[in-house]
Structure 1
């Protein structure tokens, strides 16, 4: 049993590290993408500022989650990361649909953003499920103590 738990913890740590690395690389891709846009265009200037802020916030919140004090903190920061990813999808979509950026490049970034969103969403659902199970166990223990 202990060996199985250790393997699960190692896999969990590896997954967290991979997510952190992936979010970091995503931020770098966004920065490189922005460098090639026409920043003389006023609309592009505004959208780029918002995109840079939201896209880099994904990784920053993932890292912040790992520094949190508990599961609730961890879940909250993952939720912020998910919201930032969703906001990034919006800005990327605007750049693509307004034809201010290369459609293929934007579609690649959108795909990566969607994948990060899916990972974050699944993690949040798992964490919320674990939090509910802990609450139920605590409530059951209190109920048992009252008997």
Structure 2
């Protein structure tokens, strides 16, 4: 039986939701923000996924720190969408992102102590 990986599951689910959201933005012709969100929002999961096969603890931490930076960038783009008049904003994305951010911080902190 395969062990559940919560951070990986959260990041994949978030990436899929970001894809759906950016498709809606593109329908509304919000191409620049859609492109930025697609890149940063899916990059979180890519870096978490890569960290699963890291070569060392330092490499693992480094990849998760990159994911954390992508969380911050994604948070910025979502903040713009939330505060712009002509954007359909999905507050569930912010909630998901916060969950990922908290769990990432916890994992990084724990990995540094080992």
TM-score by length of 1: 0.71
Equivalent residue runs for 1:56-95 within 5 Å: 56-95=42-81
SS in 1 for 2:100: helix
Structure 1 partner of 2:13: 25
Structure 2 partner of 1:101: 87
TM-score by length of 2: 0.90
CA–CA distance in 1 between the matches of 2:71 and 2:101? 6
Structure 2 partner of 1:145: none
Gaps of 5+ in 1: 1-12, 131-147
Per residue, is there more helix in 1 or in 2? 1
Bigger Rg, structure 1 or 2: 1
| TM superposition shift of 1:29 | 0.4
User: Which structure is richer in relative contact order (CA contacts within 8 A, separation 6 or more)?
Assistant: 2
SS in 2 for 1:77: helix
2:101 equivalent to 1:113: no
| TM superposition shift of 1:23 | 0.7
